[in-house]
Structure 1
Amino acid sequence: MKHFYSMLFFAIIIYSCSENSTTDNSELVSPIFYKGMDLSFQSELEDYNVTYNDQNGNLIGLLDFVTAKGANLIRLKLWHTPQNGENGLNDVKAYAQRIKSYNANFLLDFHYSDFWADPGTQTPPVAWQNMTNEEIRVAIYEYTKDVLTQLKNQNTLPKIIQIGNETDSGFLWNYGKVWDEFSNNWSNYAILVKEAIRAVREIDTEDDIKIMLHHSSVENSIFFFEELESFTIDYDIIGLSYYPQFQTKDLNVVANKLNILATTFEKDILLVEVAYPFSLGFDDSQGNFIGSLDQTIPEFSPTPQGQKAYMEWLITTLKSIPNNRGIGFCYWAPDWVAFPNNSNSISGGSAWENQCLFDFNHNALPALDVYNLN
C-alpha cells in the first residue's frame, strides 16, 4: 500500500509538470507579425492583362509569388457603389476567395464612400446622402453587417477590419466630421464607428476579427486617439500611414511616436500604408507622388537597395515597439505599375510606378526579399 501511494504521488507530480509545461509552451508562442500588401488595384490591372516577373524575368502569378515570398496579409479596399464597379463588393468577394486559397490573412478596408476616402475627402455614398443622423447610423450598421454576412457565407471573413480609411478628420461628412467647424462633433463620429463595430461583433461569433481605426500620420495621430478615449470605442489596432514625402523624415521621431502610441493607448500598432521609391524616374506620362531627392529619407537612397534597406529598418522599428505591440506593416500598391493603355483606366496612368515592388520591366525588386524575414 505504501508503494502504491508513492507511485500515485509520483504520477501526480509528472502530470502537474506536464500541464505546466504545456501552458508555458503556449505562452511562448509568438504572435503573428503581418507582412502585408494592399492589392486593391489587382481587379483593375488584371482587366488590362498586366503581367509581372520574378527577379530573373520569368513570368509569375502575382498572388502566388508574393505569398510564396512570405506575404501573409492582403488588404483590399471596399467602395459602396463605385461608378465603374472596381473595388465594389463583388470584386472584394472574388479576390477574398483567392486570398483564402493561399492561406493568407485578409484585411478589409471599408471606405464608406463610393470612391477614395482620405483626410481631405470623406464623401458618403450617394445612396446615403440627405439622410438624418438616425438614418445614417442605421445605414452604416446594416451595410457593414450585410457585407460581412456575404463574406461569412463564402467562408472569407477578414482577419482585420478598418472602420473607415484615414479618418483623421472623421468620415461620412458631415455626419461624422471632426474637423474645422465640426471640431466638437466627436460624439457623432464615435456613434457611427460603434454602430459599424457592433455589426462586426454580431457577425464574428468566433471573436476572431480585430478592429482597426486608421490615421494618416504617425507623427500627428496622438491627438486623434486621445479624443476617442472618453467614448470607450471597442477597437484593437491603431492603423497608421507612413509616407515620408508627407511626414517627418526623422527616423527617431517615427520610432518614438510609435512607442508612445503603443504604451499610451495599449493597442497594437499596424503600419497599414507604407511605401518607398526604388527610383526617381518615370515609366509613363503621369506625374509621380515622389520625384525629387528632398522627398526621400536621407538614410535611404531612392534605389532598389535603398528601398530594401528602408523596409528592413521598418521591420526592425516595428519589432522594437514595447510589449510586442508592433504587429506588422502593409505595403501600399506594390503592383500599381505603368503599362500600355492605362490612360483608359480609372487611375489615368500610374503615379506610383517608382514606388512599386516591381521595376519598370515589372521584374521583382530586392525589397520583396524582406518578406522572408522572421
Structure 2
Amino acid sequence: MNKIINFIAFSLLLLSCSNTPEVVKPVVEPPVSNFAKGADISWITEMEASGRKFYDKSGKETECFALMKALGMNSIRLRVWVNPSPAYNNTADVVVKALRAKSLGFRIMIDFHYSDNWADPGKQTKPAAWNNLDLAGLKSAIGTHTTEVLTELKKNGITPEWVQVGNETNDGMLWPTGRASTNMSNFAQMINAGYDAVKAVFPTAKVIVHISNGYDNQLFRWMFDGLKTNGAKYDVIGMSLYPTFAPDYATGGWAKVNQQCLTNMNDMITRYNKEVMIVEVGMPWDSAAECKLFVSDIIAKTKSLSNEKGLGVLYWEPQAYNWVGYTLGAFDNSGKPTVAMDAFLP
C-alpha cells in the first residue's frame, strides 16, 4: 500500500469522525507457542544515518533493535529492493540489518519487493534492469535475485524463517507482465520462480504471498482462488491490516475491521489449508491508546485461530517518528515508544 502518499487523506478522515468503539472488552490472549510478535524496521539504517536517535520510555538512548527486544518483540522483517538509489534496502544493507537482528536472537522475515523502490497495491514497477524482459526473462531474474540475496544471508550465518515473494501484490507484480487481473497465470509463474529459489537455499523457510486489506475477504478469495487454479506454490497467506484505510472504518472503528479480518483469516485456513500471518499493522501514532487496543485485539484474534495456524503479528515501521511524513508509527515525536507498543509485551 502506498502508505506515505495516502496517509494524509486518512488523517483528515480521523479528524472528522470518532474512531473509538463504544464498548471494548478486555483482551485475553490464548497461549500459543512460537507466536511471532515483531516489526518491519527497514528504515532503521537510513534513519540512523540522518541522525535519528531512539529512547526507552524513561528517556534513555537505546539502540533500536535492542529497544524492540525490550518491548516484547521476537521477530524482525526486512524489505529488499533490487537496485535502489540511494542503496538502502539493497543486499548489503539488508545483510547489515539482518546481522544486527540475529545478534539479538530475533527471528527474521525477508520481504522481496522485486522492484528498485516501493511495491504496493498501487504500483508494482519492474526494476530498471528488468524492464525489457519477457515472462521467461522475468522468472529467471526473480530466481537469480532471490537466490543471490538469500545466499549472501546464508554466507553470513543468517537463516530467515519466512520469505515474502512480492509485497502487497493485490494485483500481482512486475506490471504489466505479472498483473494478476490481466494474466493470473503469469503472476502464479512468478510466485513459483520465487518459491523455488527460496526453497533451494533455505528448504525450511516458509514462503509468504502477501496482499493488503486483511478485512477484504472478496479480494483474498479472488487472489488465492486464482493462484490455486494456476498452480501457485506458497506456504503462508500474509496480510496487511491498517484499519483506518477500511471503507467502513468511520462507522465501525478498528473493532469491526478486526472482526472482519478474523473472519477472513478463518476462511483462508479452511478454504486453502494455509497458515496466515499479519505481516503489517499500523495506526496513527497520536492515537496510541486506541492503537494499543487494536494491536492487542488482533494479536489475540490471530492467536485464537485453530491449530495455531495464525503465525504472528508485525507492526510496520513503529520506530518512524518525524520521518518522511509517515504518521502510522508507534513512537512519539521525542523518539520514545508510545503506549501502543505495550501490546507486544508478554
Q: TM-score, normalised by structure 2?
A: 0.84
How far the C-alpha of 1:261 sits from its partner, in A, is 1.3
How far the C-alpha of 1:157 sits from its partner, in A, is 2.6
Partner of 1:102: 104
Partner of 2:326: 351
Render the CA deviation track for 1:54-86: whole Å, top value 9, x for unaligned: 112221111111112221111111110002111
1:317 aligns with 2:301: yes
The equivalences for 1:266-345 within 5 A come to 266-279=273-286, 302=287, 304-338=288-322
Greater RCO (CA < 8 Å, at least 6 residues apart): 2
The letter for the 2-side match of 1:325 is K
1:213 aligns with 2:209: yes
The letter for the 2-side match of 1:177 is R
CA distance in 1, matches of 2:299, 2:305: 10
Render the CA deviation track for 1:232-278: whole Å, top value 9, x for unaligned: 33211100011112225324322211211122111111111101224
Give the unaligned 5+ runs of structure 2.
Answer: 1-30, 250-255
Corresponding residue SS for 2:244 = coil
Partner of 1:245: 244
Partner of 1:189: 187
CA distance in 2, matches of 1:53, 1:61: 8
Change (3 A) 1:233 1:133: closer
Contact persistence 1:128–1:136 (CA under 8 A): yes
Partner of 1:371: 344
Corresponding residue SS for 1:130 = coil
Contact persistence 2:82–2:115 (CA under 8 A): yes
How far the C-alpha of 1:314 sits from its partner, in A, is 1.2
The equivalences for 1:119-268 within 5 A come to 119-179=121-181, 182=182, 185-204=183-202, 207-218=203-214, 219=216, 220-247=219-246, 248-249=248-249, 250=256, 251-268=258-275
Q: Percent identity?
A: 32
Runs of 4 or more off by more than 4 Å in structure 1? none
How far the C-alpha of 1:30 sits from its partner, in A, is 5.3
Give the unaligned 5+ runs of structure 1.
Answer: 1-28, 280-301, 343-348
Corresponding residue SS for 1:53 = coil
CA distance in 1, matches of 2:138, 2:299: 39
Corresponding residue SS for 1:260 = helix
How far the C-alpha of 1:365 sits from its partner, in A, is 1.5
How far the C-alpha of 1:223 sits from its partner, in A, is 1.4
The equivalences for 1:19-58 within 5 A come to 31-58=33-60
The letter for the 1-side match of 2:325 is S
CA distance in 2, matches of 1:229, 1:276: 32
Change (3 A) 1:149 1:229: same
The letter for the 1-side match of 2:279 is V
CA distance in 2, matches of 1:255, 1:142: 36
CA distance in 2, matches of 1:210, 1:223: 22
The letter for the 2-side match of 1:305 is A
Please tell me whether Structure 1 or Structure 2 has the larger radius of gyration of its CA atoms.
1
Contact persistence 1:52–1:358 (CA under 8 A): no
Contact persistence 2:285–2:331 (CA under 8 A): no
Corresponding residue SS for 2:243 = coil
Contact persistence 2:191–2:233 (CA under 8 A): no
CA distance in 2, matches of 1:54, 1:238: 33
CA distance in 1, matches of 2:93, 2:150: 14
CA distance in 1, matches of 2:76, 2:292: 20
Partner of 1:67: 69
CA distance in 1, matches of 2:140, 2:264: 36
CA distance in 1, matches of 2:141, 2:333: 43
How far the C-alpha of 1:308 sits from its partner, in A, is 1.3
Contact persistence 2:83–2:127 (CA under 8 A): yes
The letter for the 2-side match of 1:231 is N
Render the CA deviation track for 1:115-174: whole Å, top value 9, x for unaligned: 100111111110111112221221111111111111111111311100000111110112
CA distance in 2, matches of 1:351, 1:363: 16
CA distance in 2, matches of 1:253, 1:149: 39
1:113 aligns with 2:115: yes
Corresponding residue SS for 2:118 = coil
CA distance in 2, matches of 1:30, 1:101: 25
Q: TM-score, normalised by structure 1?
A: 0.78
The letter for the 2-side match of 1:137 is K
The letter for the 2-side match of 1:277 is P
